[in-house]
Structure 1
Amino acid sequence: MKRVLLTLTVLLAVTLMEAQVTPIVLGDSHAMLKMMQGKKFVLLPVQEAEDIASIAVLDNSNNMVQRLNVKLAIDRVDYYVPYELKGAALLDIEFHGDRRQKGAVGEFVCWKEIEFSDTFDTTNRERFRPVYHHTPLYGWMNDPNGMFFKDGTWHLYYQWNPYGSQWENMHWGHSTSRDLIHWETHPIALEPDWLGSIFSGSCVTNGDEVVAFYTSAGMHQTQSMAVSKDGGRTFEKYSGNPVLTTSDVPDFRDPRPFWNEDIKAWNLILAAGQEMRIYSSKDLKEWKYESSFGKGYGNHSGVWECPDLFKINNKWVLICNINPGGPFGGSATQYFVGQFDGHKFTCESMPKVTKWMDYGKDHYATVSFYNAPENRRVVMAWMSNWQYANHVPTKQYRSGNSIPRDLGLFTCGEETYVSVVPSKEMLTLRGAKVKKPTEACEIIIDTKSMTEIVLSNSKGEQVTMVYDAQKQTFSMDRTKSGKLSFSEAFPCVTTAPTYGTIKQLRLFIDRCSIEAFDAEGKMSMTNLVFPSEPYTNIKIKGGKATIYEIKY
């Protein structure tokens, strides 16, 4: 018995020694950590309230192979993030912030909690994670990038931080879908290099190749290119990068190339401060500046970002995402309608006219899929707002995408507007009719001249929506919707013009979001909500509701 107890004691001691790594402390803010060989991942403990630790990853020859910024835990662990070792031998770590308040580096809790493992558990731990919206398995996500359709598959890349659930370390994450609803996660598509982090951009299909254009965000922002020969799964960066540079504006980013059949050449549009610049090319490598658009047009309260330019019927639509400057604060998507001859975009509206694609608080970085089938123009947006995106009440991941939407055009008075309807693939999710709302459902509202809809739960939390035919407005009030304290900018009432009457509304509810659409496409509104329990009650004045469960 004594021998057995002694053996167990020794095993326990060895286990504890393996569980707690020993740093090499070199100063008040500097430490190194040797990597355990034979394991796939080092699991880094994160504490979001702390300052960033800058980590240089060195190989066995002391060559630096990567830099990353991680909020390593000082006195508690919020969650873990994995770093795939792939030959990494040493982490050279510099802590930032006031060490007099944080204590001695050697006493930080991260050393006790760092783990080495062959696996990383991505099982969902978040009750607010959507049921049928795209989200990353873990980490931070913002702008959708590089979306295209090829060989029956929809490809969605996205701004991703694999090393924390707040903005940092920008990579391109990658997901694919056969139906725009169910998404499969793939390995990282593009990693930062010595030109900088990988900011937003787009993909085009060129024969058998997929060509990605993205912003290299280093000391300055430049445009780079990468080519995939396996359908967009892996990319090789172009040896001639960067392919586009400038010296006159610091914000020079988000390239969007496309084949223009009208001129039998490639065009590219990108954001430069508070204007969009347009280029042309015969080979995707050499680009000629053609013109700029934006001075005096639309909203200029913030930086212009994430452009798109495409034809619908006989008119062209220029999408311009802006932050800040949205109709209810923070980030939002504006657009312009006009003509484009391959060289210059001409807006058909007066300069002072501003048109918003969505009148909620949580619809940004809207861009379309390249080469969508049936000549469709399918878009997705980042479903959050820069005012509070880093602080919404989730930890394992932050942010999802909107449901896919199809764009068209309609007229009201003398103006042409973009119509927005849920993509037809959303109909495949409709299940049986139910009597009460659930955490994931679609609600059809047949409206009258004045319709009020109240979604609520047993905690007294509620969202109130009002359609007023006389005023031609639709509003959504989330000031009592649930968790609000994470940001003063979150409680709000958003109001949209309806450009005529609404006969039917479609509401998509999914745990932490409500997306409202005029069934004819003349109005859309996207807002996040964080109720302590699902809204299972609905009251309607002046209308009739039909509720469908979601089959996912």
Structure 2
Amino acid sequence: MELPLLRFASCFALITLLACGPTAPEEVVDAGSSEVSEATYQEPHRPQIHFSPPANWMNDPNGMVYHDGEYHLFYQYYPDSTVWGPMHWGHAVSTDLVHWEHLPVALYPDSLGYIFSGSAVVDNDNTSGLGQNGEAPLVAIYTYHDPEGERAGRDDYQYQGIAYSNDRGRNWTKYEGNPVLPNNTGIRDFRDPKVSWNTAAGQWVMALAAKDRISFYGSDNLIDWEHLSDFGTDQGSHAGVWECPDLFPLPVTGANGESKYVLIVSINPGAPNGGSGTQYFVGEFDGTTFTVDPSFAEDVTDEQGVWLDYGRDNYAGVTWSGIPEEDGRRLFIGWMSNWAYANVVPTERWRSALTVPRQLTLHQTPAGYRVFSQPVRELEQLRTDEFTIPEGEESANRGLSDRFSVPANAPKELELRYALSPDSKARFGVELANGKGEVYRIGYNAASGHYFSDRNSAGPATFSEDFVGDLELAPRVMDGAEVSLHLLIDRASAELFADGGATALTEIFFPTEDFNQIRLFTEGDGVRLLEGKGYTLTSIWPQLDR
């Protein structure tokens, strides 16, 4: 988790401003309040199928862990304002990854500092000794950020602490011996621990962002940590500070038991379409050292990166720990915003949402190993009023507004499959519009071989000059004559999963009034719709589903 503009020379003024915070909203809503009213989730731009706090500021997802039938979601939270400030861990739980129950703040700042990003695990064997009555504790591992140390110009103001819970995550106790990993590295950016149990090594392994690299640490008990190795100073993009790592194994789909390790690393700035973004590496981890696969290495040399999502609004995402073996999925969620403008987007009661939960899978593609992203299957329960779109060239240009159920601004899902002729230069996709003449487009450009998102006309962007400009582009990973577009459209966002999830592109937008018109468009020849399905989606929030 990075402070806004942390990369620039002096953070003193920023910390002073944000620690004090602007005037709080007139109405402050406790994130754990049971009174999540219809008004709370019907404000302009409020997501209906994405997690967002009832009020105030949110950024990185933290501490995601599955335990005792519940998916826990913690997140960077400032309960006193709608801009970044002293960080807490907000908390919510779900039994299905779709509908969320807000719980009270889990971790508050203390004398050691703000509570920055981190992870949580189920300590099944009570290696920490923090469990009670034979029950496995939940243990959270997080970064302390000491603003006083930063203002004093110290280099050791970020260090790692732990907290534990013995009541299913409802109450947390900070370890009295914190910090468990002091900062004696001389590196200021020393944060965002992601911890997992490594069976081969027989110990806990921590991936920790350290400015321009990922440092790995090992522990038998989650308390005493030993440095194992470093990775990355000469691989991947270093246009900004590295943060929010995650290390996990993934089987290669269809490869008869082959498995690789994936290392996710967020970076700010330096993303391919500007601002913050998330790159990844594919390779091996032997319990001590991560090594990039030789076939992947050529893609991450000379400051090149391979990106998990090419849109501008998927950052700091990590995966859930503790998923049962019988499920076996690698489940991911990200922050649906960008540090280039997150503090100033035009929402009044709250700021920021998260992406939909996604399943990550690893595939061998024409471009090499690539991580695919797909919406989790649990989201299908939101579908209502399914309809089909006839095959044919004429179907690639048709209005769909009358095919979706009312209200017109309800979330929508589209699954589209197109055939391209070998010489097609067509540009095609989905267009959203409203009565104000505002338009958003997302689709594929056969001439350039890129997916694109165009929010330049999707509403006023006077709040930030970084919000509009060049089209956001995503290279096509797969080849072949068929192109598929899977779209999830909420009131102020679009998520594209193209070619079965080989390319992901996530964007937010802020029209003056909700988009209430939708159509397929095609510019150019040589494209034919092979198959199309659409669904109206219900809200994930109580009493707001139709």
Of the candidates 161, 180, 186, which is equivalent to residue 224 of structure 1? 161
Counterparts of 2:514 and 2:499, CA distance in 1: 25
1:469 is displaced (CA, Å) by 4.2
1:481 is displaced (CA, Å) by 0.9
Q: Which structure has the greater CA radius of gyration?
A: 1
1:460 is displaced (CA, Å) by 1.4
Counterparts of 2:434 and 2:69, CA distance in 1: 41
Q: Residue 166 of structure 2 aligns to which amino acid in structure 1? A: K
1:427 is displaced (CA, Å) by 1.5
Q: Residue 415 of structure 2 aligns to which amino acid in structure 1? A: I
Within the alignment, does 1:458 sit opposite 2:435 as a pair? yes
1:82 is displaced (CA, Å) by 6.3
Task: Tell me whether 431-440 or 127-136 shows the greater mean CA deviation.
Answer: 431-440
Q: Residue 173 of structure 2 aligns to which amino acid in structure 1? A: E
Q: Residue 267 of structure 1 aligns to which amino acid in structure 2? A: V
Counterparts of 1:390 and 1:329, CA distance in 2: 16
Aligned to 1:215: 143
Structure 1 residue ranges without an equivalent (≥5): 1-50, 56-66, 85-118
Within the alignment, does 1:244 sit opposite 2:181 as a pair? yes
Aligned to 2:393: none
Aligned 8 A contact 2:245 2:264 in 1: yes
Query: CA distance change for structure 1 residues 210 and 123 in 2, over 3 Å: closer, same or farther?
Result: same
Query: CA distance change for structure 1 residues 534 and 123 in 2, over 3 Å: closer, same or farther?
Result: closer
Counterparts of 1:342 and 1:383, CA distance in 2: 32
Counterparts of 1:53 and 1:526, CA distance in 2: 29
Within the alignment, does 1:441 sit opposite 2:412 as a pair? yes
**Equivalent residue runs for 1:10-159 within 5 Å:** 69-72=20-23, 79-81=26-28, 123-124=40-41, 126-159=43-76
Aligned 8 A contact 2:30 2:55 in 1: no
Aligned to 1:317: 262
Q: Over residues 475-501 of structure 1, what are the superposed CA-to-partner deviations in whole Å (9 max), with x where a residue is unaligned?
A: 111111113111111114111112124
Within the alignment, does 1:426 sit opposite 2:379 as a pair? yes
1:356 is displaced (CA, Å) by 0.2
1:54 is displaced (CA, Å) by 8.7
1:447 is displaced (CA, Å) by 1.9
Counterparts of 1:274 and 1:179, CA distance in 2: 36
Q: Residue 231 of structure 1 aligns to which amino acid in structure 2? A: R
For the aligned residue pairs, the C-alpha RMSD in angstroms reads: 2.4
Aligned to 1:363: 314
Counterparts of 1:199 and 1:527, CA distance in 2: 25
Aligned 8 A contact 2:386 2:534 in 1: yes
Counterparts of 1:363 and 1:378, CA distance in 2: 15
Counterparts of 1:120 and 1:424, CA distance in 2: 26
**Equivalent residue runs for 1:462-473 within 5 Å:** 462-469=439-446, 471-473=448-450
Aligned 8 A contact 1:267 1:280 in 2: yes
**Equivalent residue runs for 1:102-501 within 5 Å:** 123-124=40-41, 126-207=43-124, 208-218=136-146, 219=149, 220-247=157-184, 248-313=186-251, 314-348=259-293, 349-350=297-298, 351-352=300-301, 353-373=304-324, 374-413=327-366, 415-433=368-386, 435-436=400-401, 438-439=408-409, 440-449=411-420, 450-453=426-429, 454-469=431-446, 471-492=448-469, 493-501=471-479
Within the alignment, does 1:547 sit opposite 2:544 as a pair? no
Counterparts of 1:285 and 1:423, CA distance in 2: 34
Counterparts of 2:107 and 2:291, CA distance in 1: 35
Counterparts of 2:354 and 2:47, CA distance in 1: 10
Aligned to 1:18: none
Query: CA distance change for structure 1 residues 151 and 499 in 2, over 3 Å: closer, same or farther?
Result: same
Where 2:455 maps in the other structure, the secondary structure is: strand
Aligned 8 A contact 1:228 1:234 in 2: yes
Task: Tell me whether 430-439 or 354-363 shows the greater mean CA deviation.
Answer: 430-439
Structure with the bigger RCO (C-alpha within 8 Å, sep 6+) is 2
Counterparts of 1:310 and 1:52, CA distance in 2: 35
Aligned 8 A contact 1:367 1:381 in 2: yes
Where 2:380 maps in the other structure, the secondary structure is: helix
Where 1:268 maps in the other structure, the secondary structure is: strand
Counterparts of 1:273 and 1:53, CA distance in 2: 19
Q: Residue 243 of structure 1 aligns to which amino acid in structure 2? A: V
Q: Residue 483 of structure 2 aligns to which amino acid in structure 1? A: K
Counterparts of 2:29 and 2:41, CA distance in 1: 15
Task: Tell me whether 306-315 or 467-476 shows the greater mean CA deviation.
Answer: 467-476
Counterparts of 2:413 and 2:52, CA distance in 1: 19
Aligned 8 A contact 1:516 1:524 in 2: yes
Counterparts of 1:413 and 1:444, CA distance in 2: 23
Q: Residue 214 of structure 1 aligns to which amino acid in structure 2? A: Y
Where 1:212 maps in the other structure, the secondary structure is: strand
Query: CA distance change for structure 1 residues 527 and 280 in 2, over 3 Å: closer, same or farther?
Result: same
Query: CA distance change for structure 1 residues 480 and 69 in 2, over 3 Å: closer, same or farther?
Result: same
Aligned 8 A contact 2:55 2:349 in 1: yes
Aligned 8 A contact 2:208 2:216 in 1: yes
Counterparts of 1:258 and 1:309, CA distance in 2: 8
Query: CA distance change for structure 1 residues 205 and 341 in 2, over 3 Å: closer, same or farther?
Result: same
Q: Residue 434 of structure 2 aligns to which amino acid in structure 1? A: N
1:543 is displaced (CA, Å) by 4.8
Aligned 8 A contact 2:494 2:507 in 1: yes
Q: Residue 428 of structure 2 aligns to which amino acid in structure 1? A: E
Aligned to 2:392: none
Query: CA distance change for structure 1 residues 262 and 359 in 2, over 3 Å: closer, same or farther?
Result: same
Query: CA distance change for structure 1 residues 487 and 68 in 2, over 3 Å: closer, same or farther?
Result: closer
Q: Over residues 192-235 of structure 1, what are the superposed CA-to-partner deviations in whole Å (9 max), with x where a residue is unaligned?
A: 00000000000000122100000010020010000110111111
Query: CA distance change for structure 1 residues 443 and 488 in 2, over 3 Å: closer, same or farther?
Result: same
| TM-score of the pair, normalised by structure 1 | 0.78
Aligned 8 A contact 1:389 1:399 in 2: yes
1:456 is displaced (CA, Å) by 1.7
1:135 is displaced (CA, Å) by 0.2
Q: Over residues 248-296 of structure 1, what are the superposed CA-to-partner deviations in whole Å (9 max), with x where a residue is unaligned?
A: 1111000111001122211011001111000111111111100000111
Counterparts of 1:531 and 1:177, CA distance in 2: 30
Aligned 8 A contact 1:364 1:385 in 2: yes
Where 1:425 maps in the other structure, the secondary structure is: helix
Q: Over residues 301-345 of structure 1, what are the superposed CA-to-partner deviations in whole Å (9 max), with x where a residue is unaligned?
A: 100010000000210000000000011111000000000001000
Identity level (%): 40
Counterparts of 2:14 and 2:261, CA distance in 1: 44
Counterparts of 2:289 and 2:138, CA distance in 1: 26
1:472 is displaced (CA, Å) by 2.9
Aligned 8 A contact 1:309 1:319 in 2: yes
Of the candidates 483, 486, 506, which is equivalent to residue 526 of structure 1? 506
Q: Residue 308 of structure 2 aligns to which amino acid in structure 1? A: M
1:172 is displaced (CA, Å) by 0.1
Where 1:311 maps in the other structure, the secondary structure is: strand
Counterparts of 2:349 and 2:15, CA distance in 1: 19
Aligned 8 A contact 2:77 2:90 in 1: yes
Query: CA distance change for structure 1 residues 279 and 394 in 2, over 3 Å: closer, same or farther?
Result: same
Aligned 8 A contact 1:451 1:543 in 2: no
1:466 is displaced (CA, Å) by 3.4
Counterparts of 1:234 and 1:83, CA distance in 2: 16
Query: CA distance change for structure 1 residues 526 and 53 in 2, over 3 Å: closer, same or farther?
Result: closer
1:414 is displaced (CA, Å) by 6.0
Q: Residue 81 of structure 1 aligns to which amino acid in structure 2? A: V
1:470 is displaced (CA, Å) by 5.7
Counterparts of 1:203 and 1:510, CA distance in 2: 29
Aligned to 1:511: 491
